[in-house]
Amino acid sequence: MRKPAQPTINDVARIAGVSKKTVSRVINRSPLLNEDTRRRVEQVIAELGYTPNPQARALALRRNFLIGLIHDNPNAQMVLNVQHGLLEVLRDTEFELILHPVDRGSPTMLDDIRAFLEKQRPYGVMLLPPISENDSLAELCAGLGVRYVRMGSAPLDEAANMVASNDREAVRGAVEHLIAAGHRRIGLIAGPHGFRSAVERQAGYEEAIEAAGLPLQRTLIVHGDYRFESGMRAAERLLDLAPRPTAVFSSNDEMAAGVLHVAHQRGLTVPQDLSIVGFDDTPIASHIWPPLTTVRWPIATMARAAALKLVGGAGGARPGEDGEASLFVSTLIRRASVAPPPGAG
């Protein structure tokens, strides 16, 4: 196999009959350049198929063009949506996305991330929930001089470092939707302790209940861990109640699917016997039967905004209007899993 040696800036300079610096100026779009020489150099660049070596650039500029994505696998679809949103912005820049999944259960997580940051020295990092809620992590980044953007369920940092959704309002709206359908006993499957998203979503639930003048019953609130099985367990407890709730709001779709599962097992028909509302609008929400009413938050849009905040104008990226926003609104997607409570007809 022949060795396809990449042409370097020297080759371009030699063939174009100029100095490397001039080529460098062309590459970096220096304004003070003779139009003739620019064209000539660009011609040679095109002929040779020359591409600047990113590593050499990084070395000379004393900064690289890596954006890190640090997360602890919230859910597959979300991670992928974030990756897509990020890459959509990064694609036209010289930045690359590198991944760094971590294990929030590990006591060495912070050290692990520190090692990653010190080794790669990424230009910036994107922090996904739930670890994005960790203030020590944000401080670690700041201390190391690595810019960061956190994604979360509420504004927990300054706008420049944050893209947030309004989980509380969104859930309040979702539960109000159930109340408007006639439900009075509404169960909540809350997220795990220590998650800001869990807190926000529960707060939204409570706000809606109280605003409607309904009693806030602790037995109607069960915690899960955002996983399918925990949704099943929570549903068991909720459906064992007498009288049992006529509707359940689940803090994410996966647990909501667990509720549906249990309902099926018990011979309950959804939504006639039990209404269910989820959160996330992952693909499973529209694929299960019946299709799930759920809250959709604009993950890809938020990721794009985050990317713009991170690279903000650097490396060819242009901050768009997305770049300014840091709070994003979620919307209720109405499907077939909600109906009036039994006997309400």
The closest of 290, 291, 281 to 254, measured between CA atoms, is 281
Strand partners, 187: 248
In the complex, the residues that contact a copy of itself under the rule CB under 8 A are: 1, 3-4, 6, 49, 51, 53-56, 58-59, 64, 66, 73, 76-77, 79-80, 83-84, 87, 96-99, 101, 115, 118-121, 142-145, 228, 254, 257-258, 260-261, 264, 283-284, 286-290
Does 119 sit near DNA (CB under 7 A)? Answer: no
The one of DNA, a copy of itself, none whose footprint includes residue 136, by CB under 5 to 8 A per kind, is none
Query: Nearest approach, Cβ of 62 to DNA (angstroms)?
Result: 6
Beta bridge pairs of residue 162: 150
Among 3-11, 124-132, 146-154, 194-202, which window interacts with DNA (CB under 7 A)?
3-11
DSSP state of 323: T
Q: Which residue has the tokens 């420049």?
A: 160
d(CA 14, CA 114): 43
Interacting residues with DNA between 34 and 93 (CB under 7 A): 34, 36-38, 50-53, 56-57, 59-62
Q: Which residue has the tokens 């800036």?
A: 9
CB atoms within 10 A of CB 243: 7
Choice between 175 and 288, CB closer to a copy of itself: 288
Q: Does 18 bind DNA (CB under 7 A)?
A: yes
Nearer to a copy of itself, 62 or 193 (CB): 62
Q: Which helix (H) or strand (E) holds 249?
A: strand 247-250
Beta-strand pair 162-165/147-152: parallel
Q: Which residues face 96 on adjacent strands?
A: 66
Q: Give me the residues that bind DNA (CB under 7 A), please.
A: 6, 8-10, 17-25, 27-28, 30, 32-34, 36-38, 50-53, 56-57, 59-62
